[in-house]
Amino acid sequence: MRITRLLLLTLLILAIPAAAFAQLVVSVAIAPPALPVYVQPMAPDAGYLWTPGYWGYAGEGYFWVPGTWIQPPTVGLLWTPGYWGWGGSAFAWNGGYWGQQVGFYGGVNYGYGYGGVGYQGGRWQNGQFYYNRAANNVNVTNIHNVYNTTVINNTAVNHVSYNGGAGGVTARPTAAEETASREQHTPATSLQTQHERTASTNHALLASVNHGKPAIAATAKPGEFSGQGVVAAKQAGATYKAPANNAAETKAAAAKATEDKTAENNKAAETKATENKAAENNAAASRATENKAAENKATENKAAENNAAASRATENKAAENKAAENHAAATKATENKAAENKAAAARTNESKPAAPKPARAPAESAKEPTAHAQPAARPATAAHAQPAPRPAPATHAQPAPRPATAAKAQPASRPAPAAHAQPAPRPAPAAHAEPAPHPAAAVHAQPEKAAHTSGG
């Protein structure tokens, strides 16, 4: 059973992504060893910040993660180290992070600027990092951004590597550290997590092998565990004591913590799945509602279009009916006008005298028309009317059978107007209406001559 749990713990650690390795919360029943004593290697170049070493935990127990110089993910960020803290029944690891301010790291004195509270190893100024030479090993020939401020380290706690529990540091977060813990954080970089993973696979770094005095205590750059930049520990921070509990119990506690963590993760995953399912259902319901609303909108639009089409059809029909009525009215008016014109023509024809009647009219008063129509017998009248030089009018006005009619511009054809305009006793109107033959003038102009002629 213990072998199965150990295998499970090993597989779980190997399955953790590198980016999340440093943030893994591990619970261990025994406290970690004291921090070893070592000399900080020289900074490789400007812009690198120091990250102190610490004890990690894996399937074979505690192992040392060497301190190293590393470039921050963004200019202006500072590193808050991780620390072990007692939780009442086991020690739990709290991973480090990058932030604008250094937060709480358990009050553990990691050295080289991390004295337990804040960071005195350097500061950012005008986009460049300035190193405190009192806390850091820098080459001033290559790095010019330096200053010198005395650093007070908390040596009362010796090299204790954890907070709380038996023999642990009793520090609590300050108000500034609590504020920093609530600010936006950036997790450890990929180089940092790879650095930790490499250390976990190095057998010489196990506390059970090096007894708290690792051969690789610090490196100049992350992941470089050999070469000129590697620094060995001078001594263990305290006499190494094997865990009071045997290895089997420790592994069982680790396995139990892993199982609990796995159960929590599974529970969280199930909860997340439930939330996602609920979100999907809500999204589906929302889409269905939106689609239904869209269908209703389309139906309303279609109905509106149909109503508009019906209205247009009605208006067009009314316009057509109106046009038909106007056309019918125009046709009716035309027909009425034609009928009126025809009736008027008929009345005109009825008013005209019959052709034989004009012939009888001069016959009844043959003497008077003859007298009017005979200019030859009246030389004065003939000279005035000049019938002799105008034979054509005479011919036209007096056809052989109807001499009276020829003298007068067709008065014979219209006896009624002549009779109305010139009654027999009043010849003057006839002479005024027809100047060419002037029969009336002849009558009017020669009454005396007629009398005189009668007298002669």
Q: What is the pLDDT of residues 123-179, one digit of tens each?
A: 999 999 999 999 999 999 999 999 999 887 654 457 999 999 999 999 999 999 999
Please name the residue ranges forming H helices in 352-427: 356-364, 367-373, 379-385, 391-397, 403-407, 415-421
| CB-CB contact of 83 with 168 (8 Å) | no
How far is it, in rounded angstroms, from Cα 366 to Cα 208? 175
What are the pLDDT digits (tens) for 234-243? 999 898 887 7
Q: Residue 332 is encoded by which pair of tokens?
A: 């009716």
What are the pLDDT digits (tens) for 322-353? 877 777 777 787 787 877 888 777 777 666 55
Grouping H, G, I as helix, E, B as strand and the rest as coil, residue 177 is: helix
* DSSP bridge partners of 93: 84
What are the pLDDT digits (tens) for 175-221? 999 999 899 999 999 999 999 999 999 999 999 999 999 999 999 99
How far is it, in rounded angstroms, from Cα 305 to Cα 356? 79
What are the pLDDT digits (tens) for 344-392? 777 776 665 554 544 444 444 434 444 444 444 444 443 344 444 454 4
DSSP string across 12-78: HHHHS-HHHHTT---EESSPPPPPPB-PPPPPSSTT-EEE--EEEEETTEEEEE-EEEE--SSTT-E
Rg (CA), the chain: 68
Nearest 5 degrees, angle CA 378-CA 384-CA 386?
90
Q: Can you give the pLDDT at residue 409?
A: 43
pLDDT grade, residue 308 (50/70/90)? confident
Grouping H, G, I as helix, E, B as strand and the rest as coil, residue 396 is: helix
Q: Can you give the pLDDT at residue 430?
A: 42
Give the mean pLDDT of 22-29: 63
In this prediction the pTM is 0.52
Whether residue 49 is predicted with pLDDT greater than 80 in this model: the reply is yes
| β-strand pairing of 97-99 with 91-94 | unpaired
Residue 5 identity (one-letter amino acid): R
Q: Which residue has the higher pLDDT, 65 or 355?
A: 65
